[in-house]
Structure 1
Amino acid sequence: MRTVKTLLAGDHFVRNELLATALSALDEVSFDFREVSLPWPLTPYGRVAEVDEASDAEDQLIEALPGIEIAVTQMGPFTERVLDAAPDLKLLVVCRGGPVNVNVPAAIKRGVVVASTPGRNAVAAAEHAVALMMGALRNLPRLQRTLEQGEWRSDLYAYDECGLELDGSTVGLVGYGAIGQRVARVMLAFGAEVLVADPFVDEATDGIELVALDDLLRRSDVVSLHARLTDQTRGMIGADQIALMRRGAVLVNTARGGLLDYDATVDALESGQLGAAAFDVFPSEPVPAGARLLTAPNVVMTPHLAGATRQTALRAGSIAAEAVAAYLAGKDPVGLVSA
């Protein structure tokens, strides 16, 4: 039986013991584990050298990597400096949707196969998006605050004050990947009409209408963002796009803060162009004290926790183990990343 020297660089979410359990279930291989425990999410991630969204732990990885053939991490900063210290590394599995914490060209140049774990948080993120959407439609934070303040606001039953239903509404999804597809299925179950704008999708399932982005914005009662952040999508929803939306529409962003102009969004909330908004992601994280968004009307917010479920962490380990199994079998792993 082959023994593979493997580095587990987990954290307080995707724990090393979860990764070890998933890998140890593979047949016909044993692992000689070396472990590094990273501080995320107790310590926020950030930019480390040339990579993004990583724990500042280059020195820890450099010390642990000699002799390692396989490394599995979520937030480990695999910079060029770290990769230079890993001459025996052949496979790097990143337990997230994309390896933003890895210098992928440098890894590939050194013969390292890089894989991610696509879809690991699709269920959690989709469910969270739906929860935020419903919270915004029914203005749940406002209602809770009235009770906390000792009020019983039956006047909020008034026509001009009460919320909206998903049934019969038009919901526009910007992006139709694993998360967007799940949200679409839930929206259809609620009885909503679903529009999708995604330049990489040629056809959708029954009940989904593919449209151009401007058409989606004009027709939707609710717009939910599920696109990846790229040079092409950065700032894709700004003042001009919000002006196209129906007055009183709801805007939801659980994807990436860089997709949306938040100043324009606050302007639209204050003017009534947007009826409500819900966010799990922001242009600066954490949100700066005094940010206009914190006092904007009719906003539901959570601190970038859409993917935070125990099932997500377990799924990350199982998908990572599948990638390792494929590599050991001489096959391309799911989530293979190219430069």
Structure 2
Amino acid sequence: MRILAAGDHFVAPELFARELTAEIGAGHTVDRLCLPWPLTPFGPVAEVDEASGDERTVLEALAGAEVCVTQMAPLTRKVIEGSPGLRLVVVGRGGPVNVSLDAAREHGVRVCNTPGRNAAATAEYTVGLLLATMRRIPETSAALASGRWAGEFYTYDNCGPGVDGASVGLIGCGAVGSRVARALTALGARVFLYDPYADPATLRAAGTPVAGLDELLRRSDIVSLHARLTPETRGLLGARELALLPEGAVVVNCARGALLDEDALCDALESGRLAAAGLDVFAVEPPPPGSRLRTAPRLVMTPHLAGASTSVAHNAARIAAAEVGRYLRGEPLAHQVA
């Protein structure tokens, strides 16, 4: 069987190939293609989103392949229709948005994802970004690196609040949100949760559920977003919602940029109503040169790194390879989405 390992500079083709060999042995041909992400930002390709590379390159690499494992390759309708031997695509991420699922169904191509591969890493990063934002770690590090001791950050007005004793509102309590809840509870926070889709027992185990988003916001010194981006959640936190937060609140977003109205966030930071914010995701990535985010005060920004750890890369390759193993053995696929 011929397999295409279409990796990138995070989950390398060699990593996919190594895990595939460990799972299915060396008796198969594994072709390798390295896509430019994340050195080049992902984007839409034809009708799919968050893809890396171009249709022509992927089509050529897929010639004769029955299976494709990838993170970011654009498996568009054109690519799927031009790859008649393709029968299985395994995407090393939670949402296979780089695959035309309609075309896959029409052409008998099964599509699988790798859920949970970065949940722990994203939760860790969320807590780290929250702490860095609240305790002003980037600013103080930059001051010291420039040769300035910056003792003013020890003053009451400049040192920033702590998590112990704070009320933290988590919007979304899935694999990431529930981990963040446990970590913040261990640090002494009172955790409130809003997730209309979560099992009530899961919410109660993670913290204190609240009935509505407005109630959560009114009770939260810190808000962290963990919801999926859907038509219903796009712009979930806008000017009205941010105004419900107590004066001096902190907002953190490591989920999806479009959940948050960035102009409203900048207004709240510039007015001083919000104490600080930490963003790892943005409505447009990277933020354009004229974005207000680049000059907003007390805003810590990182370039969509929450899900980036060496453990995540290995998890993605391992879960993908296990799915290929099931396919070869004729077993039910564990994570089939189409």
After TM superposition, the score normalised by the length of structure 1 is 0.94
In the TM superposition, residue 87 of structure 1 has moved relative to its aligned partner by 1.1
User: Is the Cα–Cα contact under 8 Å of residues 16 and 35 in structure 1 kept in the other structure?
Assistant: yes
Matched, 1:251 2:248: no
SS at match of 2:27: strand
| Aligned counterpart, 2:328 | 328
- How far apart are the structure 1 equivalents of 2:173 and 2:28? 38
CA shift digits 1:245-294 (9 cap, x unpaired):
11111000111111000000010011122110000011111111132111
Code of the residue aligned with 1:8 in structure 2: it is: A
SS at match of 2:23: coil
SS at match of 2:153: helix
Matched, 1:175 2:166: no
| Aligned counterpart, 1:52 | 49
In the TM superposition, residue 28 of structure 1 has moved relative to its aligned partner by 6.8
CA shift digits 1:5-57 (9 cap, x unpaired):
11111111111111111111125783211222211112221111111111132
Bigger shift: residues 280-289 or 324-333: 324-333
Change over 3 Å in CA distance of 1:9–1:181 after alignment to 2: same
Give the root-mean-square deviation of aligned CA atoms: 1.6
Match of 2:110 among 101, 110, 113: 113
After TM superposition, the score normalised by the length of structure 2 is 0.95
Structure 1 segment 207-222 matched on structure 2, within 5 A:
207-211=206-210, 212-222=212-222
Change over 3 Å in CA distance of 1:94–1:193 after alignment to 2: same
| Aligned counterpart, 2:5 | 8
Bigger shift: residues 139-148 or 308-317: 139-148
Structure 1 segment 68-107 matched on structure 2, within 5 A:
68-107=65-104
Structure 1 segment 179-328 matched on structure 2, within 5 A:
179-203=176-200, 204=202, 205-211=204-210, 212-328=212-328
Code of the residue aligned with 2:207 in structure 1: it is: I
Code of the residue aligned with 1:210 in structure 2: it is: P
| Aligned pairs, number | 335
- How far apart are the structure 2 equivalents of 1:15 and 1:167? 40
- How far apart are the structure 1 equivalents of 2:114 and 2:82? 24
| Aligned counterpart, 1:67 | 64
SS at match of 1:25: helix
SS at match of 1:337: coil
SS at match of 1:171: strand
Bigger shift: residues 56-65 or 167-176: 56-65
Bigger shift: residues 191-200 or 206-215: 206-215
List gaps (5 residues or longer) in structure 2.
Answer: none
- How far apart are the structure 1 equivalents of 2:189 and 2:332? 39
User: Is the Cα–Cα contact under 8 Å of residues 38 and 57 in structure 1 kept in the other structure?
Assistant: no
Structure 1 segment 145-156 matched on structure 2, within 5 A:
145-156=142-153
In the TM superposition, residue 186 of structure 1 has moved relative to its aligned partner by 0.7
SS at match of 1:30: coil
In the TM superposition, residue 226 of structure 1 has moved relative to its aligned partner by 1.0
List gaps (5 residues or longer) in structure 1.
Answer: none
Change over 3 Å in CA distance of 1:68–1:196 after alignment to 2: same
- How far apart are the structure 2 equivalents of 1:299 and 1:44? 22
Change over 3 Å in CA distance of 1:144–1:28 after alignment to 2: closer
- How far apart are the structure 2 equivalents of 1:331 and 1:182? 31
CA shift digits 1:56-75 (9 cap, x unpaired):
32112211223211110111
